[in-house]
A and B are shown apart, each in its own frame.
Chain A
């Protein structure tokens, strides 16, 4: 779980946080409602976790609320990994 969290957190920081943005991003930082990842960019984040963990997240489960923190994304990935396996 921790590894998953670290990988997704590192990806979010690398891809979605501007170089000069001083905000600290943690596993519980609001991403969508905090304005770090918008609903359009969320598609690329979803694509990343699907590719990385070889899962498919149905659109009905890929809500803005489900992607609002790294912790929630981890829970989503864990859920679909289990379904997948």
Chain B
């Protein structure tokens, strides 16, 4: 027998990136300076436009100079390596470049979705002990409302403030006006140095900060090459907002570590506008989400035919399971299927996927990415299930480069993610005879709406702050576009009566304080909620009702 040495995906990535074991690795440098050193300094890195058609373009050399300048500027404010620096912006260039600038000076970038209301924002800033926030004027009022409650927040930086509009303790930053900075001493981070802090929701408690490290680059780079198939001459469009992990792993780090041009459209959904954008920018690789694909499906294939989308050569999807109809439709509409990819905030990179060239089984998540060991675990024995088709918990063998290194200040939550030496994703699936994974659903009460995880606890806590609400439960209900949306069951306090006005008022309160994603799309006023004898609200019964599923064992419920 001849032993064959096969290089793992991670080793290939390390070799291609020129990484030395234990040596320095800084994502900011790899996405800018290194690409310039490879001779691609004049290649556009970012072509950005907003819904009005205003454009800004940055080459890789611009990226290098501007991230140097911003990193030095942040240092000048007294910000230090390890400080958490939040980016709270729409998809403007300052957000994309800001992440890299923070990484270059050794800070921990904490991007947050700009549609978060002040309560969601405040919870995450307080938990992280954030030292600085970079925002836009349009979001400043939310920051001002909570600033006094955040003693560790030293600097509020505004990237687009007209002169004279800021308060004394707020600082203006005009990125494009900063003098070019040819040389910046990039902080000597290593593979285990903290890089990004992404908040994610769970069933219990407030959102948790998933702590990532600079060494994640290895996994993000190679999955971008192999799954998204990015090449030097591609024009890449990722629909995700960098307030969420897809927008950083594959909207900043992956494509720019590969030296690929990416285009960004800072606008809301409009099918015609999107197709016009693909046509105008000659997009070749498109990474989208099932919710967006289903919205496009609603508009039909006739609209697709009005545009020249022949530049598209590779389509991928992430966020929630891609339904078979969407796969089939994309084949009809674009002449190629969207390939499903599965991963989550904690994994940092795609872990189960349909690779280019692999036969697609519409509705399947695909197979583990080479280098990832995945299985479904029996929830009782915590042993891998070997029989095909039986549903278990999706589990990964720890140790891939972009795995989270912990939850910020929450070691017990991190420990609970492991069973019998496996990392538990929190999703249920089965595996078929060919090794393809088939998603079944979440294994907890977290609501996956439009590809974003929303925790019921955060919604229920906010509902209870409404003067009319005595008790509440937030669960998922089916939705043809977003897969799931939030539904709230509410028990009113004496003296309050259910009405359409009250329902809309509560919806708007949650939308503004938390986010549009967390807003219940339906509120059902009820006399009581199902509870255990110890008084704990049993969400699973309400959820089962919404999904038309059996309610299961109710023997432990409190009798009314």
Contacts and interface: CB of A to CB of B under 8 A. Distances in A.
B425 interface: no
B508 interface: yes
A28 interface: no
Given A18-B139, A40-B519, A41-B516, A32 B269 contact: yes
A36 B500 CA distance: 24
Contacts of A35: 51, 90, 266-268
B268 A33 contact: yes
A38 B115 contact: yes
Contacts of A68: 270
A44 B267 contact: no
A51 interface: yes
Contact of B269 (A20, A44, A51, A64): A64
A30 B519 contact: no
Interface in B264-278: 266-271, 273
Contacts of B450: 39-40
Contact of B500 (A21, A38, A51): A51
A44 B508 contact: yes
Interface in B72-104: 90
A36 B516 CA distance: 12
B150 interface: no
B507 A19 contact: no
B137 interface: yes
Given A30-B51, A35-B266, A64-B270, A40 B295 contact: no
A53 interface: no
A22 interface: yes
Interface string B442-471: 000000011000000000000000000000
A21 B139 CA distance: 8
Contacts of B51: 30, 33-35
B487 to A, nearest CB: 12
Given A30-B51, A34-B51, A51 B501 contact: yes
A22 B268 contact: no
A32 B501 CA distance: 24
B526 interface: no
B406 to A, nearest CB: 31
Nearest to B51: A34
A48 B504 contact: yes
B373 interface: no
Contacts of B142: 18
B427 interface: no
B511 interface: yes
A65 B270 contact: yes
A55 to B, nearest CB: 12
Contact of A64 (B266, B295, B482, B521): B295
Interface string B498-519: 0011011001100100001101
A44 B504 contact: yes
Contacts of B141: 18-20
Contacts of B140: 20
B533 to A, nearest CB: 36
B390 interface: no
B307 to A, nearest CB: 16
B409 interface: no
Nearest to A48: B504
A20 B51 CA distance: 19
A7 interface: no
Instruction: Summarize A's interface: helix, strand, loop or mixed.
Output: loop
Contacts of B504: 44, 47-48, 51
Contacts of B417: none
A59 B298 CA distance: 11
B270 A18 contact: no
Nearest to B52: A34
B138 interface: yes
Contacts of B139: 18, 20
B298 A44 contact: no
A10 interface: no
Contacts of A36: 268
A3 B223 CA distance: 55
A33 B519 contact: no
A6 interface: no
A38 B519 contact: no
Contacts of A51: 500-501, 504
Contacts of B137: 20-22
A43 B519 contact: yes
A39 B239 CA distance: 15
A44 B505 CA distance: 9
A31 B517 CA distance: 17
A20 B138 contact: yes
A47 to B, nearest CB: 5
Contacts of B270: 30, 32-33, 64-65, 68
Nearest to B273: A33
Contacts of A37: 268
A34 B269 contact: no
B267 A33 contact: yes
22 contacts: A20-B140, A20-B141, A23-B138, A30-B268, A32-B268, A32-B270, A33-B268, A33-B273, A34-B267, A34-B268, A37-B268, A38-B115, A39-B291, A39-B450, A39-B481, A40-B482, A40-B521, A43-B507, A48-B504, A51-B500, A63-B298, A65-B299
Given A18-B141, A65-B271, 15 more contacts: A15-B508, A18-B142, A23-B138, A30-B268, A32-B269, A33-B51, A35-B268, A37-B268, A38-B115, A40-B516, A44-B507, A47-B500, A48-B504, A63-B299, A65-B270
The 8 A-B residue pairs whose C-beta atoms are closest, nearest first, are: A33-B270, A40-B516, A21-B138, A19-B141, A41-B516, A35-B268, A20-B141, A51-B500
